[in-house]
Amino acid sequence: MPDMDGFREATNFGIGQASQCSDFHVKGASNLSWGMKDRLSRIFNPKTGKAVLLAFDHGFIMGPTSGLERIDLNIVPLVQYADCLMCTRGILQSSIPANVNKPICLRSDAGTTILTELNRNVLIDVEDAIRYNASAMAVMFAAGDGEQEAITAANLTEAVDLGNRYGIPVMGVTAVGKQMARDARYFALASRVCAETGASIVKTYYCEGFEKVVAACPVPIVIAGGKKLPEKEAIELCYKAVNDGAAGVDMGRNVFQSENPTAMIQAVHAVVHEGLTPEQGMEMFNDLSK
């Protein structure tokens, strides 16, 4: 029992002041559980509401792609500049030191490689995601793919069910169906379906009319970078996405395949969190590259 000696009477009840239940800084998350919000707050900075996720999960379908040959040499030095790491459990366990203290968006499905058409997609065990202390689980949704749409929708649904049980948010990763035009109508549909399925974060691609994709999606959208672009274009892409309402980026190749990945991730971070213009972002990249 606490010692009652010196007990001070409570007096400061703020009578007459409305209870301060400030809105949560992550879109669509106000009604989530405390654990979910805590995990989302590790990913999305409470001051800016934004996040820079470093994606290096490509190996699960592409193998050792350019820039990811040696995770210890290519990725570990960048980790300090990322808000969250998106990777598979195999790379996390084998190559990322557990004391980097970064939230993990764990790639939680596995599918066929680039050697074949996508024809199978399975979920990892949610208990394993818990063992890795995942702050989110990333699962693909292949909208418009005749073979895979239903399977990936079922996987996403199951991941959300499991995530809800344990308080782990799910990121719906929109895979681009081969037959579908990569336009706002398609990305709006794919993103919205992810959110309707219960995803708390959606990862999709920037496109013309992106503001409509964001407006129609009730949870935060982060953009993938896509194939490697010249640094100037990649920085412009980040700027335009955030300007049109993205809550950040989940970027891979445009960082780890950059001429200077360390400078690139810092410039991207400043564009996302500090609102640097593309020119300022490029200036930062050039200064850091000297």
- Which residues touch 270 (CB under 8 Å, ≥6 apart)? 276, 280, 281, 284
Rounded to whole angstroms, the Cα distance separating 137 from 87 reads 10
**DSSP secondary structure of 145-190:** -TTTHHHHHHHHHHHHHHHHHHT--EEEEEPPPTTS--SHHHHHHH
Rounded to whole angstroms, the Cα distance separating 180 from 263 reads 35
| Shortest Cβ 104–ligand 5RP spacing (Å) | 13
Rounded to whole angstroms, the Cα distance separating 26 from 39 reads 11
Active-site residue among 203, 212, 227, 240?
A: 203
| Shortest Cβ 62–ligand 5RP spacing (Å) | 8
Q: Which residues of 79-89 are buried (b: 16+ CB within 10 A; e: fewer)?
A: bebbbbbbbbb
Residue nearer to ligand 5RP on the CB measure, 32 or 267: 267
| Shortest Cβ 194–ligand 5RP spacing (Å) | 13
Binding site for ligand 5RP (CB under 6 A): 55, 57-58, 86, 173, 224-226, 250-254
Residue nearer to ligand 5RP on the CB measure, 24 or 141: 141
- Nearest Cα to Cα of residue 55 among 254, 265, 257, 251: 251
| Shortest Cβ 222–ligand 5RP spacing (Å) | 9
**Both tokens of residue 203?**
């990862």
Residue nearer to ligand 5RP on the CB measure, 62 or 150: 62
Rounded to whole angstroms, the Cα distance separating 280 from 290 reads 16
Exposure of 212 in the CB half-sphere (CA atoms within 13 A): 11
Specify whether 178 is catalytic: no
| Shortest Cβ 140–ligand 5RP spacing (Å) | 7
| Shortest Cβ 8–ligand 5RP spacing (Å) | 54
Rounded to whole angstroms, the Cα distance separating 238 from 206 reads 9
Rounded to whole angstroms, the Cα distance separating 149 from 154 reads 9
**Both tokens of residue 116?**
């074949």
Residue nearer to ligand 5RP on the CB measure, 236 or 250: 250
Residue nearer to ligand 5RP on the CB measure, 244 or 250: 250
Residue nearer to ligand 5RP on the CB measure, 24 or 56: 56
Q: Which residues are catalytic?
A: 203
